Amino acid sequence: MQTHIAGIESVRESPWRASGAALAEPAAKAFEVKALEAFGTVVLVSRDHEVYAEGGPADYCYRVVAGAVRTVKLLPDGRRQITEFYLPGDIFGLDGFAARYFAAEAVADATLIRYPRRRIEALAEEDPRFARRLRDMASDSLRKAHEQMLLLGRKSAQERIASFLVALAERPRKGAADGIELPMTRGDIADHLGLTLETVSRVLNRLHRDDVITLASTHHIEVHDLATLREMAGEV
Amino acid sequence: MQTHIAGIESVRESPWRASGAALAEPAAKAFEVKALEAFGTVVLVSRDHEVYAEGGPADYCYRVVAGAVRTVKLLPDGRRQITEFYLPGDIFGLDGFAARYFAAEAVADATLIRYPRRRIEALAEEDPRFARRLRDMASDSLRKAHEQMLLLGRKSAQERIASFLVALAERPRKGAADGIELPMTRGDIADHLGLTLETVSRVLNRLHRDDVITLASTHHIEVHDLATLREMAGEV
DNA sequence: CGCGTGATTGAGCTTGGTCAATTACGGTGG
DNA sequence: CCACCGTAATTGACCAAGCTCAATCACGCG
């Protein structure tokens, strides 16, 4: 298997071709357009390396094939907010026309397809359905952002963790029904939910003790009682 | 002068026409297209009444002419997050295609221009510059949302207040250089910054005591030391 | 001038953060 | 296959920022 070397590495044997339904998650549907796929390039990014930097040029957008990506905003003293995680099937990097508003980094070794924004813009101009799809995606990012603001501004630690787990559990996945993969560390989760890693650990273990979830291994959780978890999330 | 009656009241003597540069704020420029202006309708919404409800149809978008608007997300037990404030010149309501992701309410008696989304879509399809403008606005909403997530997830109470005041002070305004109007209550500010109204009050009064600002009246603040305020905001 | 809403101020309290040990996991090499 | 090692996770004891509850205070409007 190909190893992930430091930083970004473009694989030259592109264009890349979709290998069947396994990779075709709903959010990615819009990108299964022949005209665009021809311009997709496979990119490998190793864990904790940048896909792009805050303030850099916004020339490409990406689709996650494998691994996971986080978008990050930093304060000068190092405090960090992870604004979003992107898992296989997700598209990111469509935001920010002139320059990137935030950095994107690989949470775990990631395989991405990179598309030139120019091509996307061009395609959007000639295909209104595709343009519409793009706007829907932008709209959905904004919905998630507002949801997250509610979480960060008004929910308790337990409600935040529960909301996070419910969101993950509700993602369409290929594998087992109640098994969730957590490719990120406790620290990443903390920086996404506005908590400390100790609090994340404590709440997860409390949920385990209360038989709502099982901590099968550090990066694998099983949800026993999704209904209870939903209640705990505070949205009723 | 026309009084604001309960709820939304459409004024029939539209189409409305821009009354010169006073109302032409930067963000609104894209909407100064003759083809669109012809479809603008003046709408008056009185304080604390809804412009539109969460989950409702997303048929219109709006430009604020006077007053102020907040977008609101609620938890079932009444906890509230104000995701954004819209002041004169701002556009809102472009988000959410099928249904509204959040409610919009008047913070103070508001005068709005309402545009049918259908017309906007149509215009975007025939004028790529306008379409681009729309995407820029969407992009900017997302930038603000991520900025707010950083604030809510990682900043202290004082940093939140300072950030909020700096953002207001940096808005292009017509009036005095260092005078800021706060059309919203302390409770509104609290629900925007993820604090309680008591904390907002305490921090504002501390900033006053420390001579960084002057609380001229409840809804009017003067910024003496914008540099200090920027430092306090934590972004350096 | 009086009244009601919104703002201020104060006194405790709670949640989640901080600091500090362990403990466990996962990847590597023998 | 197993021992080892560095990183990540867990757990505990204590602490503090900001919340809650409660009592004035004051502004704006009739």
Residues A16-26 pLDDT 10s: 333 333 333 44
Residue B48's pLDDT is what? Answer: 96
CB contact under 8 A, B149 and A235: no
Q: Which residues of A touch B73 (CB under 8 A)?
A: 146-147, 149-150
Best interface-test mutation with B: which of A71, A100, A133, A154 has the largest number of B CBs within 10 A? A154
Residue B29's pLDDT is what? Answer: 59
| % of chain B at pLDDT higher than 70 | 83
**Which residue from B165, B172, B171 is spatially nearest to B192, judged by alpha carbons?**
B165
pTM for this prediction: 0.89
- Encoded amino acid at B182, one letter: L
pLDDT digits (tens, 9 = 90+) for B80-128: 999 999 999 999 999 877 899 999 999 999 999 999 999 998 998 888 8
Residue A95's pLDDT is what? Answer: 81
Q: Where are the beta strands (DSSP E) in chain A?
A: 8-10, 41-45, 50-52, 60-74, 80-86, 91-92, 103-116, 179-181, 213-217, 220-223
pLDDT digits (tens, 9 = 90+) for A198-210: 999 999 999 999 9
Check if the beta carbon of residue B182 is closer than 8 Å to that of residue B228. no
Q: How confident is the model at residue B143 (pLDDT cuts 50, 70, 90)?
A: very high
Check if the beta carbon of residue B233 is closer than 8 Å to that of residue B156. no
**Which residue from B121, B101, B3 is spatially nearest to B52, judged by alpha carbons?**
B101
Residue B200's pLDDT is what? Answer: 98
* Closest partner CB to B194 (pick from A77, A142, A154): A154
Q: Please, what is the average pLDDT of chain A?
A: 86
Within an 8 Å CB–CB cutoff, is residue A149 touching chain B? yes
Q: How confident is the model at residue A28 (pLDDT cuts 50, 70, 90)?
A: low
Distance B49 CA to D18 C1' (A): 31
Tell me which of A19-28, A198-207, B129-138, B145-154 is least confident. Answer: A19-28
pLDDT digits (tens, 9 = 90+) for B155-192: 999 999 999 999 999 998 766 567 899 999 999 999 99
CA distance A219 to B9: 54
Distance A218 CA to C24 C1' (A): 10
Q: How confident is the model at residue A5 (pLDDT cuts 50, 70, 90)?
A: very low
CA distance B178 to B224: 7
pLDDT > 80? residue A139: yes
Check if the beta carbon of residue B224 is closer than 8 Å to that of residue B214. yes
Within an 8 Å CB–CB cutoff, is residue A76 touching chain B? yes
